[in-house]
Amino acid sequence: MQGVGFRPFVHGAARGCGLAGFVRNDGRGALIEVEGEDAQIEAFAEELVRRAPPLARIERIARESIATTGARGFAIAASEASGERCALIAPDVATCADCIAEIFDPLARRHRYPFTNCTNCGPRFTIALGVPWDRAQTTMSGFAMCADCAREYADPRDRRFHAQPVCCPACGPRLRLETNDGKPEPGDPIARAAALIASGAIVAVKGIGGHHLATSALDARAVAALRERKRREERPFAVMVADLAAAERLAVLSDASRRWLASAERPIVLVPRRADAPVVDGVAPGSHLVGLLLPYTPLHHLLAREIAAPFVLTSGNVSDEPIAYCDDDARDRLAALCDFRLVHDRPIHMRCDDSVAHEARGRVRLLRRSRGFAPRPLALPFRAPRPILACGGELKNTICLAVEERAFVSHHLGDLEHYAAFASFREAIGHFERLFDARPGVVAHDLHPEYLSTKHAAALAAADPALALESVQHHHAHAAACLAEAGHIGRAIAVCFDGLGYGSDGTLWGGELLLADCAEFTRAGALAPVAMPGGSAAIREPWRMALAHLDAAYGDATPAGLAVMQRNAARWDAVRAVLRSGTYAPVTSSAGRLFDAVAALLGLRDRVSFEGQAAIALEQCADPLERGEYPAQLRDGPMLELPGAELIRGVVGDLRAGRSVPQIAARFHNSLAALVVAACVRLRDRTGLGVAALSGGVFQNALLLERVCDRLERADFSVLTHSAVPANDGGLSFGQAVVAAARDRQRALG
């Protein structure tokens, strides 16, 4: 990877071992030639592995002997301009400890300088215009280095040796604070902005991958105002705290979440909030989790220390449009959202949202893989014969460019139905093809004919006869992403539970059991299908799914007087008529919709403002100590059927018996887990497959994941789950690339 200080490190190590020669980036990695005594060379080889700089990743080392040349001294040779240009641009890296010490050192040249960085930290992906990684190819190109910075840049012993974005107060970007209509605010911008945030003003802060909105997390009025302006009623806000000690005061941290919070990637980590945490409830309404993140730029460090209290740091946008990142766009879009703007003159070239992670069953798992991770490649389990572009899904879209054994999955691009998200989807495709110098021979896409990503893939193929189209069924892509993440090449039983995905038969799937490898799949089982009365209205209104599931479980014998009916009495009969008419009532096997139905039955949510909201409420209210479950029998046949109706009857029976909502919620999870495992066992009996892969957005549910994994392991399955790749649709592009690569490889092998 370029820009991580590997060549300077090699330079130092070789000189330290008394070797002559050179190091050079050759596109596939670093090429090193050394000559000297065997013992020196052995010592050097050991150094390479043991002391590599923090951001360098050594995938493997290949060694061969060549004739000596009598070279003297050790040189860093220029990159080879010709040949492969697949030079890897690093992700943006959180400020390192040395740079933090520097900005808080009153005697240092960069005291309080918000753009301090070095070879071990700072912006990368978001400021890269192209390759090679060179200042002229970054948004720092407009800033000429001063003599002091130039000296550090040229000194192999300095930690800024060849650090492309190096700068200082004399020569680098400048920070300014202004009102929302652009009038400069007097005084020190950081001190003033910190005081404004602490007092409950809403301040837009230009960060690394976009503009955020910041306000006090202790001020209910400020948080409510921010929700109103952003038109974001309930979705949780992330909270930034100065350090781990401050995080510990708000939440209960495990070792793993502590490690992730403080990692160089610095994702937002969802952690259990302490009952006495001072942050106001409006930060994450009705949730016992809170999304925390630690500062990852010098600007955040300076602000956090000055504010000395937790503050909301949420993306600068309205509702779920993409985060604003261009200066003009941000000025226009954020004017009505913020009171002040803390901005600077270093352009952001690529928008990049914060990454989000949570812990489930003892492992931290990415829910959104973006800043800090993109565009670091994921490994494909085999080599792709031709470069592949995978266009992903529709919601939480990412794209993936696969070249040989590497899959470059993009940052989070958002919901493509938003024009701005679709625009950044197209930009990202062009940018990735340039950055990784790949011209795709295959373009992979979802089966859904209405996804904009599908239409875009078709348009690309129509414009270029050399480009082969490869369609990949939604849940097969989920399964392949899970298999490939685990490096599992063979067949497995894949449990793919999510909201909705287009099935091979043209109906909407979402509660699937597949027998799948990376190339092909067969559908071996599914949740019993029910109709969604009103189509997409049934996604926004879970009570409609309660109605549909009640109708499937009881028909005309549906018990009267259930609370969900009473709450929705005015529309109940009309919606049931829609359901039974079969028009505007597409049929689905979705697990997500079953969770919606149960959440509505239990009175948790009749309506949702974001995807997954009802399922999250159901998970959070479940009593983790409850072990009861409902009797439910798998229905055998060429395709197994998981009878959702039996779970619904169990829930309704318990409701009528007056059992508590937390107990019923837990019993539902337990019963569904039991059905899934029974189905896996049946499929193992039929096929001999002992590996189960769990994928799809529903498996972001930590309780369900835990229950299913526990039971599968007790039944001697080897279980594959997601961690580096999101289980949700953010992981689809990777899965599509895996499937396309596997099929292309089979074709190439004949």
- Chain residues binding Zn ion by CB under 5 A are 96, 99, 118, 120-121, 146, 149, 168, 170-171
CB 728 to Fe ion: min, Å: 7
Task: Give burial (CB, 10 Å; 0-12/13-18/19+) of 290.
Answer: buried
Q: Which residue has the tokens 């020190």?
A: 188
CB 363 to Fe ion: min, Å: 21
Picked from Zn ion, Fe ion, none, the partner binding residue 118 (CB below 5 to 8 A depending on kind) is Zn ion
Picked from Zn ion, Fe ion, none, the partner binding residue 168 (CB below 5 to 8 A depending on kind) is Zn ion
DSSP secondary structure code for residue 391 in this structure: -
CB 482 to Fe ion: min, Å: 12
- Comparing CB distances to Fe ion, the nearer of 273 and 369 is 369
- Comparing CB distances to Fe ion, the nearer of 5 and 726 is 726
Q: Binding Fe ion by CB under 5 A: which of 729, 734, 739, 744? A: 729
- Which amino acid belongs to residue 258? R
Tell me how far apart the terminal alpha carbons of the chain are, to the nearest angstrom. Answer: 34
Picked from Fe ion, Zn ion, none, the partner binding residue 171 (CB below 5 to 8 A depending on kind) is Zn ion
- Comparing CB distances to Fe ion, the nearer of 353 and 498 is 498
| CA distance linking residue 510 with residue 496, whole number of Å | 7
- Comparing CB distances to Fe ion, the nearer of 282 and 511 is 511
CB 316 to Fe ion: min, Å: 28
- Comparing CB distances to Fe ion, the nearer of 533 and 735 is 735
Tell me, residue by residue from 190 to 229, as one string, x for binding to Fe ion by CB under 5 A and - for no binding: ----------------------------------------
- Comparing CB distances to Zn ion, the nearer of 99 and 401 is 99
Picked from Zn ion, Fe ion, none, the partner binding residue 498 (CB below 5 to 8 A depending on kind) is Fe ion
Picked from Zn ion, Fe ion, none, the partner binding residue 321 (CB below 5 to 8 A depending on kind) is none
| CA distance linking residue 128 with residue 133, whole number of Å | 7
Ramachandran region of residue 122, left (φ > 0), alpha (ψ -120 to 50) or beta?
left
- Comparing CB distances to Fe ion, the nearer of 320 and 729 is 729
Closest CA to 600 of 562, 643, 557: 562
- Comparing CB distances to Fe ion, the nearer of 227 and 396 is 396
- Size of interface with Fe ion, in residues (CB under 5 A): 3
CB 9 to Zn ion: min, Å: 14
3-class DSSP assignment, residue 40: helix
- Comparing CB distances to Zn ion, the nearer of 96 and 416 is 96
The Cβ of residue 65 has, within 10 Å, a number of other Cβ atoms equal to 6
- Which amino acid belongs to residue 34? V
Tell me, residue by residue from 492 to 531, as one string, x for binding to Fe ion by CB under 5 A and - for no binding: ------x--x------------------------------
| CA distance linking residue 498 with residue 729, whole number of Å | 9
Six-digit token string for 375: 């565009």
Q: Name the β-bridge partners of 502.
A: 508
Spatial strand order in the sheet of 311-315 = 175-179, 340-344, 203-206, 211-216, 311-315, 238-240, 289-293, 268-272, 356-360, 363-368
- Comparing CB distances to Fe ion, the nearer of 177 and 493 is 493
Q: Is there binding between residue 551 and Fe ion (CB under 5 A)? A: no
Picked from Zn ion, Fe ion, none, the partner binding residue 121 (CB below 5 to 8 A depending on kind) is Zn ion
CB 13 to Fe ion: min, Å: 46
Identify which range of 16-24, 67-75, 596-604, 724-732 contacts Fe ion by CB under 5 A.
Answer: 724-732
CA dist 375 to 345, 382, 487, 533, Å?
A: 24, 19, 20, 41
CB 184 to Fe ion: min, Å: 47
Picked from Fe ion, Zn ion, none, the partner binding residue 729 (CB below 5 to 8 A depending on kind) is Fe ion
User: CA 619, 623, 628, 631: dihedral to nearest 10 degrees?
Assistant: -20
| CA distance linking residue 512 with residue 498, whole number of Å | 9
- Comparing CB distances to Zn ion, the nearer of 151 and 580 is 151
Query: Is the separation of the CB atoms in 340 and 180 below 8 Å?
Result: yes
Closest CA to 457 of 400, 375, 520, 385: 400
In b/e form, how buried is each residue of 32-47, taking b as 16+ CB within 10 angstroms?
bbbbbeeebbebbbeb
Six-digit token string for 164: 């492309």
CA dist 240 to 4, 213, 385, 736, Å?
A: 26, 12, 44, 35
CB 408 to Fe ion: min, Å: 21
Picked from Zn ion, Fe ion, none, the partner binding residue 338 (CB below 5 to 8 A depending on kind) is none
CB 96 to Zn ion: min, Å: 3
Picked from Zn ion, Fe ion, none, the partner binding residue 313 (CB below 5 to 8 A depending on kind) is none
Six-digit token string for 313: 């740091």
- Comparing CB distances to Fe ion, the nearer of 512 and 541 is 512
**Pairing relationship of beta strands 74-76 and 530-531 according to DSSP bridges:** unpaired
- Comparing CB distances to Zn ion, the nearer of 118 and 217 is 118
CB 115 to Zn ion: min, Å: 10
- Which amino acid belongs to residue 43? A
- Comparing CB distances to Fe ion, the nearer of 301 and 523 is 523
Kindly give the residue spans of alpha helices, DSSP state H, lying in 517-561.
537-540, 542-554
Task: Give burial (CB, 10 Å; 0-12/13-18/19+) of 162.
Answer: buried
| CA distance linking residue 709 with residue 719, whole number of Å | 7
User: CA 643, 648, 654, 659: dihedral to nearest 10 degrees?
Assistant: 110
CB 680 to Fe ion: min, Å: 20
CB 697 to Fe ion: min, Å: 6
CB 474 to Fe ion: min, Å: 6
- Comparing CB distances to Fe ion, the nearer of 372 and 501 is 501
Q: What is the Cα gyration radius of the chain?
A: 27
CB 161 to Zn ion: min, Å: 12
3-class DSSP assignment, residue 322: coil
Residues 252-291 that bind Fe ion (CB under 5 A): none
Q: Cis omega before residue 54 (within 30°)? A: no
CB 698 to Fe ion: min, Å: 9
CB 411 to Fe ion: min, Å: 19
Residue closest to Fe ion, measured at CB: 498
CB 346 to Zn ion: min, Å: 13
Picked from Zn ion, Fe ion, none, the partner binding residue 541 (CB below 5 to 8 A depending on kind) is none
Spatial CB neighbours of 236, under 8 Å, sequence gap ≥ 6? 283, 284, 285, 287, 289, 290, 291
Is the torsion defined by CA of 53, 56, 61, 66 positive or negative?
A: negative
Residues 326-365 that bind Fe ion (CB under 5 A): none
Residues 552-581 that bind Fe ion (CB under 5 A): none
Q: How many CA atoms lie within 13 A of 346 on its CB side?
A: 32
As a residue count, the chain comes to 750
- Comparing CB distances to Zn ion, the nearer of 117 and 315 is 117
Picked from Fe ion, Zn ion, none, the partner binding residue 149 (CB below 5 to 8 A depending on kind) is Zn ion
- Comparing CB distances to Fe ion, the nearer of 102 and 320 is 320
Spatial CB neighbours of 150, under 8 Å, sequence gap ≥ 6? none
Spatial strand order in the sheet of 30-35 = 30-35, 20-25, 74-76
Contact residues toward Fe ion (CB under 5 A) are 498, 501, 729
